[in-house]
């Protein structure tokens, strides 16, 4: 580590997971001489002489060398305001306003990646049940419905037939929710998450809980580090850059249905550390990457 002192602030979700952030704090304090953890709902934005300040307990967060925002779609409005200020400041951050907006929209993130010729799952967007029913005929069953506001596997449904689709749409339409409809790709209840740290990739295979087709750790699944295919890791780095990230996670399903052997299903702005299975590995990589970027800025 360099002799020069460096500071980092992590801006957390207003609904942050205490145990996950405990390991993040542990790793940050090993790498940075000054560290601050600030929940986004405790931050205030102040304009002083035409210049913005992000204030938390009397400290201006724009005076830190680096900031790692880790909040989600439930903090959408404040999150956009904070990231807009960070994008225009000299503070280093491994994410961006553009990345936040795209990754929190399950349709537009996939659309953007597809435009860059990355292998993605076929996806459509609609708020109208009639349009979704039409899309279902084009995609064929089974298919996957994702609520745009969903997270951590919630709001994600596999639909097997027309009767099931109609029942789900009747409920969803009551709340006027936007729906991303995706062609179902068989993954045998597993997927691959590529954590991206600049050009470095940590590849993790997730397997869903018994009886659950979704490979979500928060819903009882398991995870282990694997040697990921080089082409997949390269695609993950390209996807991160396309969406405006230096740190993120890109999720894949391996399939023989496409020539690449895999498709991207989504990207994550604030990926969890899977600490039960990976310990401190992910937070350690995050903190070390941020420190290395600050060293390169000198």
68: in domain: yes
Please check whether residue 111 lies inside any domain of the structure: no
| Residue 248 resides in a domain | yes
Q: Judge if 153 and 86 occupy the same domain.
A: no
Task: Output the pLDDT for position 137.
Answer: 78
Q: Is residue 100 part of a domain?
A: no
Region for 245 from its dihedrals, namely left if φ exceeds 0, alpha if ψ lies in -120 to 50, beta otherwise: beta
* Sequence-ordered strand ranges (E) for 57-199: 59-60, 66-70, 123-126, 143-147, 156-159, 179-183, 190-197
Give the whole-angstrom CA distance, residue 289 versus residue 82: 22
Q: Pick from 154, 183, 212: which residue ends a domain?
A: 183
Residues 143 and 199 in one domain: no
CA atoms of 245 and 100, how far apart (whole Å): 9
Using CA atoms, how far apart are residues 220 and 277, in angstroms rounded to an integer? Answer: 12
- What is the CATH number for 11? 3.40.50.20
Residue 143 and residue 89 in one domain:
no
> 148 with 211, same domain?
no
User: How open is the CA angle 234-240-243, to the nearest 5 degrees?
Assistant: 140
One domain for residues 18 and 61? yes
Q: Does 112 fall in a domain?
A: no
| Number of independent structural domains in the chain | 3
**Structural domain includes residue 273:** no
pLDDT score for 129 = 67
Write down the pTM of the prediction: 0.86
The pLDDT value recorded for residue 188 is 58
- Domain holding 171, by residue range, is 123-183
CATH number at residue 178: 3.30.1490.20
DSSP result, 141-162? SSEEEEETT--TTTTEEEE-SH
Please indicate, yes or no, if residue 276 is contained in any of the structural domains. Answer: no
Alpha helices, H only, 176-280: 230-243, 275-278
Same domain membership, residue 38 and residue 22? yes
**Inter-residue long-range contacts of 212-219, CB under 8 Å, 24+ positions, other chains counted:** 213/158, 213/187, 213/189, 214/153, 214/156, 214/189, 215/187, 215/189, 215/190, 215/191, 216/152, 216/153, 217/272, 217/274, 217/276, 217/277, 218/152, 218/153, 218/272, 219/152, 219/153
**Are 259 and 222 found together in one domain?**
yes
- Do 257 and 196 share a structural domain? yes
Task: Report yes or no on 252 lying in a domain.
Answer: yes
Same domain, 133 and 63: no
* Per-residue tens of pLDDT for the chain, all 298 residues: 455 899 999 999 998 888 889 999 999 999 999 999 999 999 999 998 889 999 999 999 999 999 999 998 889 999 999 999 999 999 999 999 999 999 988 788 989 999 999 999 878 777 666 667 777 777 788 888 877 655 444 678 888 888 888 877 777 665 566 778 888 887 657 899 999 999 999 999 999 888 777 777 877 889 999 999 999 999 999 999 999 999 999 999 998 878 899 999 889 999 989 999 999 999 999 999 999 999 987 5
Q: Which residues pair with 180 in a beta bridge?
A: 125, 146
220-230 b/e (C-beta count within 10 Å ≥ 16 → b): ebebeeeebbe
CATH number of residue 197's parent domain: 3.30.470.20
Q: Which single residue is written with the structure tokens 């209840």?
A: 189
In the chain, the N- to C-terminal Cα span, in Å, equals 14
Same domain for 192 and 256, yes or no, is yes
Residues 18 and 40 in one domain: yes
Residues 196 and 247 in one domain: yes
Beta pairing partners, 13: none
Q: How many C-alpha atoms does 92 have within 13 Å on its Cβ side?
A: 19
Whether 104 and 150 have beta carbons less than 8 Å apart is answered as no
């Amino acid at each position: 580590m360099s002799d020069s002192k460096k500071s980092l602030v992590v801006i957390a979700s207003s609904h942050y997971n205490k145990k996950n952030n405990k390991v993040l704090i542990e790793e940050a304090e090993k790498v940075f001489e000054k560290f601050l953890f600030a929940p986004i709902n405790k931050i205030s934005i102040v304009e002083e002489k035409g210049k913005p300040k992000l204030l938390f307990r009397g400290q201006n967060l724009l005076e830190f060398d680096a900031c790692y925002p880790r909040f989600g779609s439930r903090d959408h409005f404040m999150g956009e305001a904070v990231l807009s200020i960070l994008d225009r400041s000299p503070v280093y951050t491994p994410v961006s306003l553009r990345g936040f907006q795209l990754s929190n929209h399950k349709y537009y993130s996939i659309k953007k990646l597809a435009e860059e010729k990355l292998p993605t799952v076929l996806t459509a967007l609609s708020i109208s049940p009639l349009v979704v029913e039409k899309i279902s005929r084009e995609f064929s069953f089974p298919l996957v419905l994702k609520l745009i506001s969903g997270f951590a596997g919630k709001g994600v449904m596999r639909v097997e037939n027309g009767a099931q689709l109609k029942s789900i749409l009747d409920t969803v339409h009551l709340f006027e929710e936007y729906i991303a409809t995706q062609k179902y790709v068989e993954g045998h209840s597993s997927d691959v998450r590529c954590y991206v740290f600049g050009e470095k990739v940590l590849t993790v295979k997730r397997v869903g809980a018994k009886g659950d087709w979704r490979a979500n750790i928060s819903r009882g699944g398991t995870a282990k580090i694997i040697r990921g295919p080089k082409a997949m890791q390269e695609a993950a780095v390209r996807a991160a850059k396309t969406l405006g990230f230096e740190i993120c996670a890109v999720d894949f399903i391996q399939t023989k249905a496409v020539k690449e052997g895999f498709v991207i299903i989504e990207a994550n702005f604030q990926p969890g550390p899977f600490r039960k299975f990976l310990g401190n590995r992910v937070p350690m990589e995050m903190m070390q990457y941020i420190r290395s970027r600050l060293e390169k800025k000198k």
